[in-house]
Amino acid sequence: MSTEHKGAYVEYAPLNEPKPFGENVWIVDGPEIRMDLGPFKVPFPTRMTVVRLADGGLWLHSPIAPDEALFAAIEKLGEVRWLVAPNSIHYWFMADWIERYPEAQSLAVPDLDVKAKRPFRIDTKLEDGTRFPWSDEIDWLLVPGTSFSEAVFFVKAAQVLVLVDLIENFEPERVNNPLQRWALKLAGATGSLPIDARMTFRPKMDEVRVQVAKMLDWPVVRVTMAHGKPITEDVPAALERAFRWAS
């Protein structure tokens, strides 16, 4: 994975700066990375979510590539106490954040202890039903797949749903390459889980339906994800469309 490639997308500027996304919730858009997709390396935008808990500690979801300015901006919000790798794709920079904040608790989906290509310390696995000190403030569940599973989170006070890949919401007008723009539309990555990625959930569809139904019962008013435009309007209808594949 590399962060050297730039320019595939029109950025959600400013980058590497926390932007308010609800009560004690911030999103931070990061630089593009190139992710392995079979034999290819494909550019993707990045985004992490930051939640300030009632005790003042910070909960960081899907940490992005850090630099000193970003560390400083985060530290102005509070003390980093939780670092979350929510699926087996979004973990690459966990090691950097753990090195900076060694006292923070590192959480990861169950398969990352064997699948991570860049190892990092995992303190607790995100196994369904596990409670954490923050569980009264952030609800969560695990949507199980084969090649990857995803832990999804609901910040109760802000009514924010936090995803990484279960919805990809690329805006075609922000994609600079016409061929890539066409491919993203064809793949269904403009408001849902891409069609190819859905295959990982097919063998466990009974469990997936149960978990998605629970998620859709949360009173969500905003949705953020790793790739594309956050959803802030007509949210119930947008979620119903996005998860029609799991109905």
CATH number at residue 217: 3.60.15.10
Owner of token pair 């998620």: 215
Owner of token pair 């919730």: 25
Strand order in the sheet with 138-143: 138-143, 150-155, 160-162, 222-224
Q: Is residue 242 part of a domain?
A: yes
| Paired tokens of 10 | 């029109």
Q: Is residue 12 part of a domain?
A: no
Q: Is residue 108 part of a domain?
A: yes
Identify the three-state secondary structure at position 235.
helix
Distance CA 64, CA 124 (A): 20
Cis peptide before 14 (omega within 30 of 0): yes
| Total domains present in the chain | 1
Span 104-117, pLDDT tens digits = 999 999 989 999 99
Mean pLDDT of the chain: 92
Q: Is residue 83 part of a domain?
A: yes
Which band of pLDDT confidence, cut at 50, 70 and 90, is reported for residue 3?
A: very low
| Range(s) of the domain holding residue 172 | 19-124+137-246
DSSP for residue 132: -
Distance CA 87, CA 210 (A): 19
pTM here?
0.93
**Mean pLDDT of the region 214-242:** 97
Q: Is residue 11 part of a domain?
A: no
| Paired tokens of 121 | 């310390």
Span 91-138, pLDDT tens digits = 999 999 999 999 999 999 998 999 999 999 999 999 988 999 999 999
End-to-end CA distance of the chain: give it in Å, rounded: 34
Q: Is residue 208 part of a domain?
A: yes
Please give the helix or strand (H or E) that residue 142 lies within, else none: strand 138-143
Rg (CA), the chain: 17
| Paired tokens of 78 | 């509070």
Q: Is residue 81 part of a domain?
A: yes
Q: What's the pLDDT score for residue 2?
A: 35
Which band of pLDDT confidence, cut at 50, 70 and 90, is reported for residue 9?
A: confident
